[in-house]
Amino acid sequence: MKIAVFSTKPYDRDYFEKHPQASEYQLHYFETNLTDDTASLSKGFDAVCVFVNDKVHESVIKVLANNGVKLIALRCAGYNNVDVNSAKAHGLKVVRVPAYSPHAVAEHTMALILTLNRKTHKAYNRIREGNFSLNNLMGFDVFGKTIGVVGTGQIGAAFCKIVKGFGCNIIAFDLYPSEELIALGVTYGSVEDVFKTSDIISLHCPLTEDTKHIVNSSSIELMKNHVMIINTSRGALINTSDIIKGLSSKKVGFLGIDVYEQEENLFFKDLSESIIQDDDILRLMSFPNVLITSHQAYFTKEAMEEITRITYENLRAYNAGEFLKNEVK
């Protein structure tokens, strides 16, 4: 079975090549993203393996199908970048990695909160320059604060358990409330309740038509003054222009993001010697109360091992004609 692996980074290749099942498949690695311009590279392959910023839209799927591709293997949990209906119409199966390490993302979320609050990144740089002043480094106690969690799937649930250990009150929104979290002391309410009552809001929901731009000018208006907003889920959950206005007006006190609406043009690349053409990301970077990481929340040894293992298992099951338990339908 021949697989074209798109958006390949050195660490992807390392984990795939050292896996015990590596010798059973012919993997060809492409550093480029899968797009309309690169879909022709799939000719001669049985499957494509893609990541979060690959654009597997209808036009791309038509090319894949014409080239003989039968399987789209996502090495991530989200699948909003794949036109699943088009894939079905063209006879392509879509599989994903539904859970690799919810703890990795949840822990990174907490790291963003603590770093933004206690300004440890700024303190680190100051000390290296011989500046031991505490001016403008004051934070607040996370203990006793109300944390709002939008989405309590595996990652959101892991995050709730972390912040519970900090002595926080937790209010959550999810279409399917968790009895386990309710027993832990999590209170469920509407998304409006979460926005109105929370000191810190953390987004852990998938990107759908209903959740796109769930943080916008109207929802920001509902929030407490100087609210902290954290997004480690999908960039388009936040309307970028609206969050910039919220930061400028000081309604939003802190913003921590590991994802960004237009990240496919930026993230996973070294642009240190380039002129960045994205005015919105430059504006966000100019705020002293904004912390941006480059989609690294998932990036732990354990998560990479699990992504590799499940991806190979998805390939094996498809190749053997077995039931695809991780199929996206």
| Residues noted as catalytic | 234, 263, 295
Distance in angstroms (rounded) separating the CA atoms of residues 213 and 219: 9
Residues 278/260, Cβ–Cβ less than 8 Å:
no
- Among left, alpha and beta (phi > 0; psi -120 to 50; other), residue 263 is alpha
Residue 20 near residue 42, CB atoms below 8 Å: no
Tokens 């298992």 identify what position? 313
156 class by beta-carbon count within 10 Å (0-12 exposed, 13-18 middle, 19+ buried):
buried
Angle at 269 between CA 263 and CA 275, to 5 degrees: 85
> Which one, of 272, 289, 318, 320, lies nearest residue 93 by Cα?
318
Which residues, in sequence order, are bridge partners of residue 93?
71
